[in-house]
């Protein structure tokens, strides 16, 4: 399969110079023949799974963080025998990535030996190392929360002198910004500590299942290895507990009709029961409300704590269900039973004892590693990121105070390096008593960058660039992105349709089986889920645990991004609701009110009536 030449992607008119918004090494370049030849020979696919919209100059921090963390573990830490890291580029605001294979086969035997020893150690000591991981991760979170960011004083406190500190608030601000960024990178180092091995074990089990059963849906394999009591469900469990408590305390109606959180709170404080419930609500906040309403990857993914009406509305949905005599418990026993049933049946269908032994070995390892694959998201993308974004906004607030930027939300148009430079400009100006250059420079630049980003948003990036490979051996590329010639073709096909309102069929990954028809409701963010009516089909960019109450009401779910292991797919399988994930443009092609058919087994969405 042939994709556009990475060096011949035209610049969008009016965006000339966009390259300076991103790290210089992310560019496809033609000035060196060797680098150019390498870039042409590789297969670069657009990481639309993580980035459904163009990259903000600051938000690329997480891309850089995982560029390093994923790659180092394949190449330098665990020595995955045939696969090196995943290389990154950016074109017109879109990230393109490519798995890099080991070029010299003669080095592989030595890599095998190292991998056996190193990965083997992790697999064998998984639980202990995982406990240790959790401790490390909690420390990082404590540290990032503890950073106290405040604006520069007119004059330093006397204590600086009396205690002989020898440093200023200017220095401290620079240091705190460095600490913040450093902790972010560190969190992502930990993010990948287990992930490569988790995916490696899973991908090999998946491959075995697909060899034994060529028609097996990937979702079945995922179902066999999925944990039941994973931490990602806990925030939702907390909301359910609060809903039940509200009924127990006779507060159901008071909470349902109590208005926004600011209006509700004083009312609650008036009664003993109300005080009790409010206290339980406050207690659940840390850490369970550090839940992003998006994937956590973008600065604009706010978390429950940023707007407590989000969890409150969800609690109200649960209270409503309980009042009608419905149940809100996850059917844990059924989920477990269903998982055990399919595992037993597939195992029984294997034809030889040798295969049953292999199945047991690989399933065992996959089940050990899989809870991590599911749980790390809570620690990093939700808990850590939510605090991180909050802290970054404090930095941004200081820059606003000093006229460097007009609005707190403008800071995302600067890269993390540029922010550091700007802070230097700011603190040296403060220290010297002169005017910084920033206020003359950044607002203009940011206005231009906003224009560039708008143009990026209107363009449709090609799904892939360069030369398709014959074989992919990088585990993430296979499992997480689901990159196959088939998925590439599907993406390409959908993108070819210029006028999306004429599209009648859309394809995605089958996330959860079943076939239903019904009216669609497009919810672009979790704040819109209270509009959902019973029996509608939810169409969303992606979902996260904060969307959980929506799954009580819906008949099916369609998302723009995500693979079979994404949140929407996992939750839908639990509720027995069909899901199609990773459609690319579901929220653009489908409008609220369209009558659609969703086939969660084949991954096809048909728009029957508009």
Residue ranges that bind other proteins, judged by CB under 8 A:
1, 43, 80-83, 108, 112, 115-116, 119-120, 123, 200-201, 203-204, 207-208, 211-217, 220, 341-342, 345-346, 349-352, 354-355, 357-358, 361-362, 364-365, 468-473, 475, 478, 483-485, 513-515, 599, 601-602
Nearer to other proteins, 14 or 576 (CB): 576
Name the residue nearer to other proteins (CB basis): 31 or 215: 215
Instruction: For other proteins, give the closer residue by CB, 367 or 567.
Output: 367
CB distance 310 to 283 below 8 Å: no
In degrees to the nearest 10, what's the CA dihedral of 353, 358, 363, 368? 130
Distance of closest approach, residue 478 Cβ to other proteins, in angstroms: 5
User: Rounded to whole angstroms, how far apart are CA atoms 26 and 6?
Assistant: 12
Q: What is the dihedral of CA 235, 237, 238, 244, to 10 degrees?
A: 160
Closest to 298 measured CA to CA, from 96, 548, 50: 50
Q: How many CB atoms lie within 10 A of CB 361?
A: 13
Comparison of 151 and 207: residue with beta carbon closer to other proteins: 207
Q: Which is nearer to other proteins, 33 or 214 (CB)?
A: 214
Cβ atoms of 465 and 4 within 8 Å: the answer is yes
- Our CB check for other proteins shows the closer of 205 and 298 to be 205
Whose Cβ is closer to other proteins: residue 116's or residue 275's? 116
CB of 521 to other proteins, least distance (A): 25
Minimum CB–partner distance for residue 123 and other proteins (Å) = 6
Q: Are 368 and 126 spatial neighbours (Cβ–Cβ below 8 Å)?
A: yes
Cβ-based nearer residue to other proteins, 203 or 395: 203
Toward other proteins, which CB reaches closer, 80 or 426?
Answer: 80
Backbone angles phi, psi at 372, to 5 degrees: -65, -45
Which of 372, 375, 416 has its CA nearest to residue 396?
A: 416
For residue 605, the minimal CB distance to other proteins (Å) is 15
Spatial distance between the Cα atoms of 226 and 371, rounded to a whole number of angstroms: 7
Cβ atoms within 10 Å, residue 552: 18
**Cβ 104 to other proteins shortest distance, Å:** 15
Rounded to a whole number of angstroms, the minimum distance from the CB of residue 116 to other proteins is: 6
DSSP string, 40-102: HHSEEEE-TTT-SSPPPTTTHHHHHHHHHHHHHIIIIIS--TTEEEEEEEEETTEEEEEEEE-
Q: Per the structure block, which two tokens stand in for 414?
A: 């600067």
- Supply the minimum distance, in Å, between the C-beta of residue 600 and other proteins: 8
CA–CA dist 594, 251 (Å, integer): 38
Q: Cis link prior to 389 (omega < 30° from 0)?
A: no
Closest CB to other proteins among residues 282, 505: 505
Closest distance to other proteins from the beta carbon of 119 (Å): 7
* Cβ-based nearer residue to other proteins, 10 or 214: 214
Least distance in Å: CB of 355 to other proteins?
5
- Report how far residue 347's alpha carbon sits from residue 16's, in angstroms, rounded to the nearest whole number: 58
Q: At its nearest, how many Å lie between other proteins and the CB of residue 191? A: 21
575: nearest Cα among 599, 595, 551, 608: 551
Query: By C-alpha distance, which of 133, 208, 579, 137 is closest to 366?
Result: 208
Query: Which lies closer to other proteins via its Cβ, residue 297 or residue 575?
Result: 575
Residue 464's DSSP bridge partners are 45
595-599, strands of its sheet edge to edge: 505-507, 604-609, 595-599, 515-522, 537-540, 556-559, 579-581, 509-512
Structure tokens of 70? 């994923």
Least distance from other proteins to the Cβ atom of residue 361, Å = 4
d(CA 295, CA 567) in angstroms, rounded, equals 10
Phi, psi of 136 (to 5 degrees): -60, -40
Instruction: Output DSSP code: residue 156.
Output: -
What token pair was written down for 347?
């195992």
Q: How far is the CB of 552 from other proteins (least distance, A)?
A: 23
Nearer to other proteins, 216 or 278 (CB): 216
Shorter beta-carbon distance to other proteins: residue 484 or 502: 484
* Alpha helices, H only, 294-377: 309-323, 332-349, 353-377
């Amino acid at each position: 399969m042939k994709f556009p030449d990475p060096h011949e992607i035209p610049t969008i008119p009016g965006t000339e110079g966009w390259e300076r918004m991103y790290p210089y090494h992310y560019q496809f370049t033609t000035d060196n023949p060797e680098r150019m030849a390498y870039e042409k020979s590789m297969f670069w696919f657009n990481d639309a799974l993580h980035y459904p919209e163009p990259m903000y100059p600051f938000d690329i921090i997480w891309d850089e963080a995982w560029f390093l963390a994923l790659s180092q573990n394949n190449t330098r830490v665990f020595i995955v025998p045939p696969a090196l890291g995943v290389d990154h580029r950016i074109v017109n605001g879109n990230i393109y990535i490519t798995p890099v294979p080991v070029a010299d086969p003669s080095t592989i035997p030595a890599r095998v030996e190292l991998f056996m020893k190193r990965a083997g150690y992790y697999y064998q000591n998984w639980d202990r190392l995982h406990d240790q991981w959790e401790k490390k991760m909690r420390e990082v979170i404590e540290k990032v929360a503890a950073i106290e960011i405040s604006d520069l004083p007119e004059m330093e406190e006397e204590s600086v002198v009396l205690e002989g500190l020898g440093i200023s608030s200017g220095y401290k601000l620079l240091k705190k910004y460095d600490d913040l960024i450093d902790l972010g990178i560190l969190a992502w180092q930990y993010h990948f500590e287990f992930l490569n091995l988790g995916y490696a074990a899973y991908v090999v089990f998946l491959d075995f299942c697909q060899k034994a059963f060529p028609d097996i849906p990937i979702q079945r394999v995922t179902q066999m290895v999925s944990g039941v009591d994973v931490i990602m469900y806990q925030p939702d469990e907390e909301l359910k507990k609060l809903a039940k408590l509200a009924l127990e305390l006779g507060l159901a109606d008071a909470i349902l009709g109590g208005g926004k959180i600011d209006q509700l709170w004083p009312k609650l404080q008036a009664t003993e029961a109300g005080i009790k419930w409010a206290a339980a609500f406050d207690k659940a906040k840390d850490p369970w409300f550090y839940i992003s309403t998006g994937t956590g990857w973008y600065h604009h993914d706010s978390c429950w704590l940023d707007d407590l009406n989000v969890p409150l509305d969800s609690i109200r949905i649960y209270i409503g269900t309980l009042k009608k005599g419905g149940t809100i418990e996850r059917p844990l026993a059924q989920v477990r039973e269903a998982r055990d049933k399919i595992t037993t049946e597939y195992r029984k269908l294997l034809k030889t004892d040798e295969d049953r032994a292999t199945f047991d070995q690989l399933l065992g390892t996959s089940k050990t590693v899989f809870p991590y694959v599911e749980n790390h998201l809570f620690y990093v993308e939700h808990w850590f990121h939510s605090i991180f974004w909050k802290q970054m906004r404090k930095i941004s607030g200081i820059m606003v105070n000093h006229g460097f930027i007009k609005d707190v939300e403008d800071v995302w148009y600067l890269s993390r390096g540029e922010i550091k430079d700007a802070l230097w400009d700011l603190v040296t100006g403060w220290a010297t008593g002169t005017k910084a250059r920033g206020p003359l420079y950044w607002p203009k630049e940011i206005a231009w960058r906003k224009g560039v980003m708008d143009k990026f948003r209107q363009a449709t990036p090609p799904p892939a660039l360069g030369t398709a490979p014959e074989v992919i051996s990088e585990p993430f590329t296979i499992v997480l992105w689901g990159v196959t010639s088939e998925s590439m073709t599907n993406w390409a096909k959908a993108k070819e349709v210029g006028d999306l309102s004429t599209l009648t069929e859309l394809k995605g990954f089958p996330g959860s089986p079943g076939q239903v028809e019904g009216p669609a409701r497009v919810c672009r963010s979790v704040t819109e889920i209270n509009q959902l009516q019973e029996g509608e089909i939810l169409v969303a960019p992606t979902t996260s645990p904060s969307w959980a109450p929506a799954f009580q009401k819906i008949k099916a779910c369609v998302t723009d991004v995500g693979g079979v292991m994404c949140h929407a797919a996992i939750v839908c399988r639990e509720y027995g609701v069909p899901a199609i994930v990773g459609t690319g443009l579901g929220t653009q092609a489908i409008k609220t009110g369209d009558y659609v058919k969703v086939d969660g087994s084949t991954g096809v969405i048909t728009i029957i009536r508009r």
